[in-house]
Amino acid sequence: MRFRFVHTGDLHLDSPFLGLGQAVPERIATALRDATLHSWDRIVRLAIDGKVDGVLVAGDVFEGANRTLRAQVAFRDGLARLAQERISSFVVTGNHDPLSGWEPAVTWPGLAYRFPAGEVSSRPLMRDGTEIARIHGISYAVRDVTRNLAATFHREADEPFAIGLLHANVGGIEGYGNYAPCSLSDLAASGMDYWALGHIHKHAILRAADPTVVYCGNPQGRDPGEADPRGCYLVEVDDSGNVQAKFRAMDVVRWQRLNLSIEEIATEEALCQAIGDAIETAATAAGRSIVALVTLTGRGPLHTSLRRPAVLRDVHSLVRERFGIGEPFAWLETIRDATRPSIDLAARRESGDLLGETLREFERSRIALREGQQADLHDLLLDLYDHPRVRRALGGAQPGTAELLALLDSAEAQVIDQLDETG
Ligand SMILES: [Mn+2]
């Protein structure tokens, strides 16, 4: 039977916005504090407007094991609105909100179900008295779940469509706790048709079909590391069981990285204008409030100016003045200066001094790299990359051609800064 559901998770309701400076006006601070709760509202509205049959929530509903009353009530209210529209919801807990935590007593609607911990269990998703899918799930009892839970999911013989609902790390993804570790082949072996996963905050379809494996990501970024669109998946299953999972942005405030080259910009005033324009364009494209993280790049005469004390600070406050604090808002959080000095590279490379010679050496390395010879640079960097602390930090990874080229560029810029008297 054809049906639809929403796959969400990692709501982290009522979690603070981190990485913001002191200067944030109260009004914006409040909007940021409420952003996770409002993005949950948007998900509920998407489910109702999309006339789905069910909503799956893949763990980490709450930021802390000891839930706040405010978050618990907001979550329950959303489930109740879904239930009023006869939409069932299915919830598992994750490492942030294990069942061992404290929770205020709040009554859930009958159509909302939370899976227990211990063993995987299953519940039917019904429409008009007919089972259209079976949801299998298991909650975290405690934060540190080291067991491979995915390996304990099994399809039963009579299932129209099997869904696995789980908070887990597939393939040991770096930067996240290795909870309920499992592999893609564990997931495939379970007989599920769709895996509704939580835990990794960057949304991704790990596998398109047989089974479809999806991380919904968190619907609202909370720090600069959680930039770009965030949301959930609206999933359609057709009569033959084919799955289409479509990402839908649900964030209320978006952390937005913006790169701006100073190459074509002649004056400080024009720079303020250009940064402001970039923010305005981004805010319009995002269609919601944004927190902008601007990086200035490229070469140009303004580089020298930006190195002067207070110039960047003044640019920052002048740009901020251009934007109000209404709704939606555009808040300029940081400007990072990654510009390089203006220089006639071709001419300087020909000169007979130390800088000319060094620039020629850089160019030789660049050409060698582009021709696929990484050996020289790898030898040079071997001591660094073999250092135990560096190895640990990089997980043993070696830089690829693109990374080496970027390293060369930034080393060259530093050398120019040191050696070029004219810049
Ligand atoms: Mn999470």
Cα-to-centroid distance, 190 and ligand 1 (Å): 24
Q: Mean pLDDT of all residues in the chain?
A: 91
Cα-to-centroid distance, 198 and ligand 1 (Å): 7
- Asked whether the beta carbons of 148 and 164 are under 8 A apart, the reply is no
Cα-to-centroid distance, 60 and ligand 1 (Å): 5
Domain match, 319 and 405 both? no
Cα-to-centroid distance, 401 and ligand 1 (Å): 33
Q: For residue 130, what are the contacts with CB-CB under 8 A and spacing of at least 6?
A: 1
Domain match, 27 and 129 both? yes
Q: Which residue has the higher pLDDT, 342 or 264?
A: 264
Confidence band of 104 (pLDDT split at 50, 70, 90): confident
Cα-to-centroid distance, 259 and ligand 1 (Å): 28
Cα-to-centroid distance, 382 and ligand 1 (Å): 36
- Asked whether the beta carbons of 140 and 95 are under 8 A apart, the reply is yes
Cα-to-centroid distance, 340 and ligand 1 (Å): 38
* Residue 247 pLDDT exceeds 80: yes
Domain match, 225 and 76 both? yes
Angle 152-138-49 from CA coordinates, rounded to 5°: 125
The last residue of one of the domains, among 341, 359, 381, is 341
Domain match, 143 and 23 both? yes
Strand ranges of the sheet holding 88-92, from the earlier edge strand across to the other edge: 112-114, 88-92, 54-58, 3-8, 231-237, 243-249
The confidence score (pLDDT) of residue 421 equals 64
Q: Comparing C-alpha atoms, which of 289, 219, 231, 227 is closest to residue 259? A: 227
Query: What is the total count of domains within the chain?
Result: 3
Domain match, 80 and 194 both? yes
Cα-flanking dihedrals φ and ψ of residue 131, to 5°?
A: -75, 125
Domain match, 271 and 356 both? no
Domain match, 258 and 224 both? no
The confidence score (pLDDT) of residue 29 equals 85
- How far is the CA of 188 from the CAs of 140, 162, 184, 407, in angstroms? 22, 12, 6, 40
| 269-314 per-position pLDDT tens digit | 999 999 999 999 999 999 999 999 999 998 898 999 998 889 999 9
- CATH number, residue 234: 3.60.21.10
Domain match, 326 and 406 both? no
The confidence score (pLDDT) of residue 74 equals 96
Cα-to-centroid distance, 133 and ligand 1 (Å): 26
Average pLDDT in the 254-264 region? 95
* Residue 423 pLDDT exceeds 50: no
Q: How far apart are CA 419 and CA 356, in angstroms?
A: 10
Cα-to-centroid distance, 217 and ligand 1 (Å): 8
Confidence band of 418 (pLDDT split at 50, 70, 90): confident
H or E stretch at 362: helix 354-370
Cα-to-centroid distance, 201 and ligand 1 (Å): 6
Of the spans 254-258, 305-309, 364-368, 416-420, which averages the highest pLDDT?
Answer: 254-258
Q: Comparing C-alpha atoms, which of 249, 234, 239 is closest to residue 4? A: 234
The confidence score (pLDDT) of residue 296 equals 96
Which of 130-139, 302-311, 328-337, 339-348 comes out lowest in average pLDDT? 339-348
Average pLDDT in the 258-273 region? 95
Domain match, 181 and 216 both? yes
Domain that holds residue 327: 253-341
Which of 6-20, 60-74, 305-319, 362-376 comes out lowest in average pLDDT? 362-376
* Residue 422 pLDDT exceeds 60: no
- Asked whether the beta carbons of 61 and 93 are under 8 A apart, the reply is yes
The last residue of one of the domains, among 341, 364, 382, is 341
The confidence score (pLDDT) of residue 92 equals 97
Cα-to-centroid distance, 103 and ligand 1 (Å): 18
The confidence score (pLDDT) of residue 143 equals 93
Q: How far apart are CA 69 and CA 15, in angstroms?
A: 13
Average pLDDT in the 74-94 region? 97
Average pLDDT in the 329-347 region? 88
The per-residue b/e assignment along 309-340, b for 16 or more CB within 10 angstroms, e otherwise, is eebbeebbebbbeebeeeeebbbbbebebebb
Q: How far apart are CA 355 and CA 48, in angstroms?
A: 65
Phi-psi region of 220 (alpha: psi -120 to 50; beta: other; left: phi over 0): beta
Which of 105-119, 235-249, 272-286, 380-394 comes out lowest in average pLDDT? 380-394
Which of 39-53, 113-127, 227-241, 391-405 comes out lowest in average pLDDT? 391-405
* Residue 383 pLDDT exceeds 80: no
Domain match, 133 and 56 both? yes
Average pLDDT in the 226-243 region? 96
Q: How far apart are CA 174 and CA 277, in angstroms?
A: 36
Domain match, 81 and 216 both? yes
The confidence score (pLDDT) of residue 66 equals 83
Q: For residue 165, what are the contacts with CB-CB under 8 A and spacing of at least 6?
A: 56, 57, 58, 90, 92, 115, 135, 136, 137, 196
The last residue of one of the domains, among 232, 249, 266, is 249
| 127-145 per-position pLDDT tens digit | 999 999 999 999 999 999 9
Domain match, 100 and 218 both? yes
With 0-12 / 13-18 / 19 or more C-beta atoms within 10 angstroms meaning exposed / middle / buried, residue 301 is: middle
